[in-house]
Amino acid sequence: MKKIFLALAVFSAMVSCSSDDDSPKKEEVSLIGTWNQYKGDFYTTYDNKTQTLYPKGCESQNTVEYNETEVNVVNYDSNNEGKCVPAVHKNAKYTYDKETKKLTHGKVYIVTKITPTELVTEDHNTDWDGDGKYDVTIRYFRKIK
């Protein structure tokens, strides 16, 4: 009986000392998925001011979906009945360099933050204040799928 107990104790010790790492696993962060913009910051060079805008109405339903090679942008607008419906669809190829954080589809964006649930991009693609200089635009997205 002692031999059986000893063998069982040794076996239990071996099983409990597995090589599994109990440290939290780093979740793979990916651009792939469907994102919804919930905020935008616009820094204008003319007056050195930042304006924060939050999408309202149908605009708040706009989505940007990335798959392995393409981006699909869907913008919503209200129809004659006042319901939000997809109004503009744009599909394009995109590239994303994880090292430089450069995201390109039509224009160049820099990914300043990416987590499993949040994406923040910055770009200098638009002259919002008409002073001839490109302004800073920061867009905040949350992952919805």
Q: Name the residue ranges covered by the structural domains of the chain.
A: 30-143
On whether the CB atoms of residues 125 and 108 are closer than 8 A, the answer is yes
Let me know: does 138 contact 121? Beta carbons within 8 Å: yes
Render pLDDT for 40-86 as a digit per residue (tens, 0 to 9): 999 998 899 999 999 999 999 999 999 999 999 999 999 999 999 99
Segment (H or E) for 4: helix 2-16
CATH code of the domain made up of 30-143: 2.40.128.20
CA–CA distances in Å: residue 69 to residues 16, 92, 103, 123, 135? 44, 9, 12, 21, 28
- Give the pTM: 0.78
